[in-house]
Structure 1
Amino acid sequence: MEGVKSIKVPEKILEAVGGSEILAQILVRRGISEDDVLQFLNPDLYTPTAPEELPGIEDALKILRRAIEQGKKICIYGDYDVDGVTATALLFKVLKNLGAKVSYKVPDRFKEGYGMKEEVIARLHDEGVELILTCDCGISNVKEIELAKGFGMEVLVTDHHALPPVLPKADVIVNPQFLAPDHPARGLPGVGVAYFLAKALLKCYGRSDEADGFLDLVTLGIISDVVVLRGENRYLAQKGIPLIKEGRNPGIKALMEVAGIAPEEITEEDIGFRISPRINAAGRMQHAGIAVELFLTEDAKKAEELAKRLDELNEERRRVGDAMLEEAEALLKDSEGGPILLFKPHWHQGIIGITAGRLCEKYRVPAILMTLKEDGETVVGSARSIEGVNIFEVLQECRDYLVGFGGHAGAAGISLRLDNLDTFVGACSKAIEKRMAEVKSAHDSFDLEYPIEKVDETLYYELRKLAPFGEGWPEPVFYCPNVEVITARPTTGQQHYRLVVGHGDKNLSALWWWAEGTPERGTVDLLYSVGINRWDGKEEVQLIIKGILKAEEKEEAAKEERREPRWIDYRSWRELGKPAPIYEDALYFYEGPPLKDFLQKTVDRYKVKEARRLVLLSCPPEPRVLEEIVALSQAEEIILAFSPAEIADIKKVLGWMMKYIKFVVNKQKGHTSVQDLAGVTGQTELVVAEMLRFLEENRLLEVKMEEYGRMHLKINATERVSNVRPPRPLMELFEETRAYRRYMNKCQI
């Protein structure tokens, strides 16, 4: 692969980014012009779209004002995902503050499904509702709205989904899809449309200054609904993220707390991967009304209780999802690649969407997972897609086989009759494959060629000036040729790898989530993004691998000669009465319980940095960890300063672990990670995972696993760990580590 050559950038763009050539290059390559750059980077310079630009909004205001002034009963009809929940909460708060008689309805995913339902309309009529205000739904509900009109009810539809061939005969429809294709507000999510309506309504009452106070809710919906982060969406998210950090909404603040997120450090990635799943868990596992109430309450105590409930539902969702993912991957064992379309009648309807997303992310192909409803005749499914394959267009092409569908380019929902399933799968697979053949490989997509030895914390914060990142504005990806993969080992699962890569005279740690097979040592071309690892009040840059390409053959080997360190034997120094191994320019590696007789600062395997000398005060748990820390330190001398006396049995190690977990529960509200526990116990991540499973199965712990090794722990019992016998699989793994440490204490240097 050839690197991207630098291009000349306009002086105005270079000035806008403070002279940063990297940022200027990225902006120009992504099509940001001189005229747009300042407002793209600074939301205070952006000219926001006036709510009145949305077709139908003036008529909508007349209906709402009349309903408020006449005391009519208004019902907000929302949806059960984050977009629908936040839109419902926003509209309810605004109407309530204006004195309206307002209630809300979010559907039950399992009993009612997406969108409006005739039986619900009839019930609302019986309850005296005179005006239905939809949000994030309604644009396809022709029959349901016709029924409401027949009852004499007014219907105001606010939605953002694609316009169907036949529109419902509502009193007013407000939908950004009526705008021109290049209009900056055309990609608004449902909560964005709700915000525009609320802002215009507040203006009518001379309360315009209240509108922006709801941008925290708007931002949650924008990021969670994976809409394009350009134009109006980008502006609203830029304004809303600071509000989220302030924690003005008690519900959002409580969610950050249960997720273990420091508010001042929250990013769009945290929202998408740690906050959104908890909100969605309400509708997926029970009822979305829990999430609506969380955002409506002003009581911190109630918010805490509701957030904890969402956290519990999210953990239940994760367990069901993990089992579904395992079953889905078993079905893919003999497949030859291509799009993923799978059906199992027993799969959980609320989880198929998120599992489809995980398969899409891992295999980098569109995925549709389907299950059977209780009626035994209707198949429902959720689709997730990759960039370049518009799944909504695919479904439009296959609409003859469907009862209904809705969504957008990246995600959609479907329903069809069971007897049409095979025909649909065949037609849909062909339609997707045709589009995939035209998609540019992700391995050919990167922003700049940039050597990894220049990557540092300064670059990370420089790149953050281009945030928020998301759909249509991804985080920058760099290309570096002729990188040496020095070490690679699995961590937090066999599909996630921790590597040490070298280029020039620098070695760096790198993470590869959902690795494409087992990384091999040797010279490769690397695609990567830049992350940050925060620990103990400090920060360290982290490479995130996006792809590994085999380097082209070259006449001269790209791999540089790496000097071998000198190994110094200082083992059993305590037992032999020797002084402590204190060296100049040394880094001290240690994992295990706190040292009482060694006052120098120590680091674990995740915090190793370059040093002239590396002193191993404890023996790493396996050869790959040893290779990793030696490579990261690039030390000239390795001093072995561990002892056989440190080879603890499993009861002692479990005791260390439980002691640390008590500290985590008391001081960190139960939030920790597999990596933290590996450092405290001196075990591999796999052994830590098995120990946690053992403690949970014996009801000593409650373990709530999150993405990439993060977790929340709760101690269940006061019974001593020593009273419970560990299972054989755990003991076998544990004994491998003990055997390696015995060998390292006896081998010749």
Structure 2
Amino acid sequence: MSPKQPWVHVETHPIPIEFQEAIGGHPLVAHTLYERGYRTVDEALAFLDPDLYHPSSAFDLPDMERGCDLLTRAISEQACILVWGDFDVDGQTATTLLVEGLRGLGANVRYHIPVRAKESHGIRKEVLKAQLVQGFDLLLTCDTGITEFESLQWVRNLDIPIIVTDHHLLAERMPPADAVINPQRLEEGHPLRTLPGVGVAYQLIEGLYASLGRELDLGRLQELVALGIVSDVAEQRGDTRYLLQRGLKSLRKTSRVGLIRLFENAELNPGLINEGHIGFQIAPRLNAVGRLGDANPMVEFLTTQDKSEARRLATLIEGMNIKRRSETRQVERGAEAQLQASSDDRHAPAIVLHHPGWPGGVVGIVASRLVERYHKPVILLTGEDPISGSARSVPGLHITEAIGAQSDLLNNFGGHPMAAGLSLPVAHYPAFKRRFLATVEAQLPSGAVGEPIEIAGSLRLDELDLALVREISRLGPFGQGNPALNFRVNDLRVVAESTVGIEREHRQVTVADKENNELRLIWWNGADERLPEAQFDLVCQLTESDYKGTPQLSAEWIDFQLSEAGKVEIASRQVELIDYRASLHSQDQLAQLVLESPRALIWGEGDLPNAIHFKGRHELEKNPHLVIWTAPPSQTVLQHVLELVQPKQVTVFAVEPGIGELHAFMSRLGSAAKYALNNLGGRASIERLGATCAADESAVRTGLLLWEARGMLSVNFKGEEVHIRADRPEADFDASALLETMLKELLEESRAYRRYFHQVELRSIINR
């Protein structure tokens, strides 16, 4: 079980009356600003309102003037500029911003974003050679380059000018470039110091246009900067916060058709886009492409004005995002299994795990989740030899320095205080793990727990309203350096809950107090977490959302702990299990069970015997006796069913549903889609389609996208529903091939889970 984070109520101090009067509104706003170090009225107002902030000059950055001169000469001579980016969202947006800005000046520009699976981060010499065959006259990096000594020296030896723009930590020496534009070269506390890679690229383009006396559409570029700031978790200080505020405002009325299409797919109202939407819905989609495929098309996606091209690329992004979710789930469960199997790993000061088959594109995501769950540094490694992976840290440990202390065992490494990447020979793994754990133990306090959850105040449910939320939102956007406010609500009970999301990975929970006031919350990635089984106290965050055009209060579940009354109330519960998985006469035994227990709820999906009344997952309701006829496609579906039915007795047969292969699955899904078109106005529940096909809902979504890519029908996902249209889009053979591969992997994952379900100890996966 993961350790609990301590709850700490923020101490407040008296603030000057003139400060409160100048800030106005709810006293909480002024108190929060004052406690976070904004002690003068001018500082506080500039924090709240970007119109009152005075942005820094781009030329505060070292080598900015030199970089602008080199680009000016290249543009005037029509020399070929090669922009070299990175595959995460910060790198994608930085590349796009430079390409768009330079083309606006008539520059001859080409770009390259490394393909993660082949190149990893950075500048590979063999790829540079291929680029030289095409020819380029100036190399311009973004979000990379600060430690690429060998590759850059090779370019320098060819007398090709180099401009490095990056934001990563400086090495002991500067790279061999004509200009190195990196905010880490500025003094601590400088307003430009916390810019991400796209922020540095923005400063270069802004400085270049200013030096040429040219007009620049700042808002259009600030949209890209906002995406990079949030996705790279840049600290919101000075110009970084200012650019995020400006960028969010521009994003809400963006003219980029790719982003407009992405917003539609994510079911986002563009006019209400905020930092949370970027962090949880937009950035993961864009990152999925870079993590699992080739991010170079993202520059076209972010710049195209062709709606059909935007639609095609958006469909690919959705497919990649489904694959990312699936692979993330696999790696997370694999990592948890390793942890539970090793007492040494569970009790170590950090988590360091390796599996040769983990997809490298998602280990960083899983590492972040494990940090949130266990509140200790995490390194997850994959591959056979060499092995490589990602690291995530906790406050108090500079993860890159801790890894660097073992540099004699590594091939390479790099990163930030809170995140890093590394590679090493597999033979060095045991020594690296031992020494890294010793380094962490020496630097972090013994018995350290998670960073405290700071609570801004305690509220009652009847005190929560939109007026309060709108006052809190004045402090936004929230993020690194400006955390969202946490509120405590005491003496609650759970009155309803359901799993939501494409993978059913989130929970929607309704809680009530003693006066029966209710609040509905979203618990991100909470589907596999245990709900409080008795009265409890809650920590939550409050935001405003939009439902069909109507503003409403939204709440996010952060943490809970049983109240004293809840601790007294809690009692253990056991489910009675009856195991018929090894039976050779399953249908006869099921028929006998129906006679003996006519009120039992029989859950079955796929190819089913005709004489028995089965119910799909979309038809289930509370019942003391659940019969599991077909083996479920995933633990997520099983858990969802158990939570719906809340049985006291479970009888398990676990027969095969009979439609696990691609052709059979697509045929069944196609028939269900045709039925929806002919009888339901084209509307169908994803859950019902999953029951019809005996499949996980991610497979259903991927299968529908595959039918669309084959040019057979059009689909539009709306929450837990899909709208199917008979109009046939043009077939996209590249997307079709990709989606078919992804679907085969998803179906194989379900087959693997069913094999596991046939042999696992039932008590370990079926409980209350």
TM-score (normalised: structure 1):
0.74
How far apart, in 1, do the equivalents of 2:122 and 2:702 lie?
40
Select the residue among 205, 212, 224 that pairs with 2:231: 224
Q: What are the ranges of 5 or more consecutive residues in structure 1 without an aligned counterpart?
A: 560-618, 625-653, 682-687, 719-726, 731-749
Residues 455, 140 of structure 1: CA spacing in aligned structure 2 closer, same or farther, 3 A cutoff? Answer: same
- What is the RMSD of the two structures over their aligned residues, measured on CA atoms? 3.8
Match of residue 411 from structure 1 = 419
State the Cα distance separating 1:105 from its structure 2 match.
Answer: 1.1
8 Å contact 2:352–2:378 — kept in the other structure?
yes
Q: Does 2:271 correspond to 1:264?
A: yes
Please say if residues 188 and 233 of structure 1, whose CA atoms lie closer than 8 Å, have aligned partners that are also in contact: yes
CA contact (8 A) 1:486 1:502 kept: no
How far off its partner does 1:431 sit? 3.3
Return the match for 2:479 from 470, 473, 480. Answer: 470
AA partner of residue 428 (structure 1): F
Letter of the 1:402 partner, please give it: L
Match for 1:379 among 351, 365, 387? 387
Equivalent of residue 114 in structure 1, options 93, 116, 121: 121
**Aligned-pair CA distance for 1:353:** 1.8
**CA deviation after TM superposition for structure 1 residue 196, in Å:** 0.2
Alpha-carbon contact 2:376-2:450 (below 8 Å) kept: no
Equivalence for 1:585: none
1:282–1:289 contact (8 Å) kept in structure 2: no
Return the match for 1:541 from 550, 553, 559. Answer: 553
Return 5+ residue gaps in structure 2 as ranges. Answer: 1-6, 571-618, 625-668, 706-717, 728-750, 755-768
Flag the 1:126–1:540 CA change in 2: closer, same or farther, 3 A. Answer: closer
- Per-residue CA distance 1:317-376 (angstroms, 9 max, x = gap): 22222222222222222343553222111111222222223333344433221111xxx5
Q: 1:422 is matched with which residue?
A: 430
* Aligned partners of 2:399 and 2:420 also within 8 Å: yes
**Structure-2 separation of matches of 1:329 and 1:71:** 55
Alignment partner of 2:208 out of 195, 201, 216: 201
CA distance 1:661–1:398, shift in 2 (3 Å): farther
- d(CA) in 2 for partners of 1:44, 1:314: 37
Look up the match of 1:451: 460
Pair 62,545 (structure 1): closer, same or farther in 2 beyond 3 Å: same
Contact persistence 1:453–1:504 (CA under 8 A):
no
Give the Cα–Cα distance (whole angstroms) in 2 for the partners of residues 179 and 360 of structure 1: 31
Alignment correspondent of 1:31 = 37
Residue of structure 2 equivalent to 1:500: 511
Flag the 1:75–1:405 CA change in 2: closer, same or farther, 3 A.
same
Q: Distance in 2 between matches of 1:299 and 1:226?
A: 31
Q: Is the alpha carbon distance of 1:66 and 1:526 closer, same or farther for their aligned partners in structure 2, counting shifts above 3 Å?
A: same
Partner residue of 1:76 out of 58, 79, 83: 83
What does residue 242 of structure 2 align with? 235
**Aligned mates of 1:256, 1:665 — CA distance in 2:** 26
Q: Give me the whole-angstrom Cα distance separating, in 2, the residues matched to 1:131 and 1:53.
A: 23
For residue 540 of structure 1, report the CA deviation from its aligned partner: 3.8
Q: 1:437 aligns with which of 445, 459, 464?
A: 445
Q: Structure 2 residue aligned with 1:128, among 121, 124, 135? A: 135
* Deviation of the 1:236 alpha carbon: 0.2
In the alignment, which of 344, 350, 353 is matched to residue 342 of structure 1?
353
Q: Contact 1:54/1:179 (CA < 8 Å) preserved in 2?
A: yes
Aligned to 1:287: 294
**1:357 paired to 2:368:** yes
Matched residue SS, 1:110: helix
Mapped to 2, the partners of 1:441 and 1:277 lie a distance apart of 25
What residue in structure 1 maps to residue 284 of structure 2? 277
CA offsets per residue over residues 592-638 of structure 1, 9 Å max, x none?
Answer: xxxxxxxxxxxxxxxxxxxxxxxxxxx993389xxxxxxxxxxxxxx
C-alpha deviations, 1:115-145, integer Å up to 9, x for none? 1111222233332311100111110010111
- The answer (yes or no) to whether the contact 2:87–2:295 under 8 Å persists in 1 is yes
Q: Residue 527 of structure 1: CA displacement? A: 1.8
- Tell me what 1:491 maps to: 499
The answer (yes or no) to whether the contact 1:699–1:717 under 8 Å persists in 2 is no
Q: Which residue of 1 aligns with 2:338?
A: 331
Aligned to 1:526, which of 516, 519, 538?
538
- 3-state SS in 1 of match to 2:83: strand
- The more displaced of 274-283 and 496-505 is 496-505
Matches within 5 A, 1:665-680: none
In 2, Cα distance between the equivalents of 1:697 and 1:445? 36
Query: For 1:498, what is the secondary structure of its paired residue?
Result: strand
Alpha-carbon separation, structure 2, partners of 1:156 and 1:137: 11
Return the alpha-carbon distance in structure 2 between the equivalents of residues 664 and 367 of structure 1: 51
Task: Compute the displacement of 1:659 (Å).
Answer: 11
SS in 1 for 2:244: helix
1:32 CA displacement: 2.1
User: Can you list the C-alpha shifts for 1:288-315, whole angstroms capped at 9, x where unaligned?
Assistant: 1111111122222222221221111221
Measured against aligned partners, the alpha-carbon deviations of 1:95-131 in whole angstroms (never above 9, x if no partner) come to 1121211111111112222111112222333323111
Structure 1 residues 517 and 149: alpha-carbon distance in aligned structure 2, compared to 1, 3 A threshold: closer
Tell me the SS of whatever aligns to 2:280: helix
Structure 1 residues 459-493: Cα deviation after superposition (integer angstroms, max 9, x where no partner) = 2222221111112212111234x423254656345
Residues 4 and 697 of structure 1: is their aligned pair in 2 closer, same or farther, counting only changes over 3 Å?
Answer: closer
CA deviations 1:671-729 (Å, max 9, x no partner) are x8x8xx7xxx9xxxxxx97567548699798468xxxx9557465999xxxxxxxx9x9
CA distance in 2, matches of 1:235, 1:14: 23
Is the partner of 1:445 in helix, strand or coil? strand
Aligned CA distance change for structure 1 residues 295 and 511 (closer, same or farther; 3 Å): closer
Alignment CA distance shift 1:231-1:153 (3 Å): same
Task: Measure how far apart 1:93 and its partner are.
Answer: 1.2
* Contact kept? 2:220, 2:254, Cα under 8 Å: no
The alpha-carbon distance between structure 1 residues 273 and 500, as it changes in their structure 2 partners (threshold 3 A), is: same
* Cα distance in structure 2, aligned partners of 1:491 and 1:485: 18
Check the 8 A contact 1:451/1:503 in 2, yes or no. Answer: no
Q: 1:711 to 1:205 in 2, by over 3 A?
A: farther
* Distance verdict in 2 for CA 1:70–1:542, change over 3 Å: closer
Q: 1:139: which partner in 2? A: 146
- 2:400 corresponding residue in structure 1: 392
Q: What fraction of aligned residue pairs are identical, expressed as a percent? A: 33
Higher relative contact order (CA 8 A, sep 6+): 2
TM-score normalised according to structure 2 size: 0.72
Secondary structure in 1 matching 2:271: helix
Q: Please name the residue that 1:621 is paired with.
A: 621
- Structure 1 residue matching 2:145: 3-state secondary structure: coil
Q: Secondary structure at the match of 1:132?
A: strand
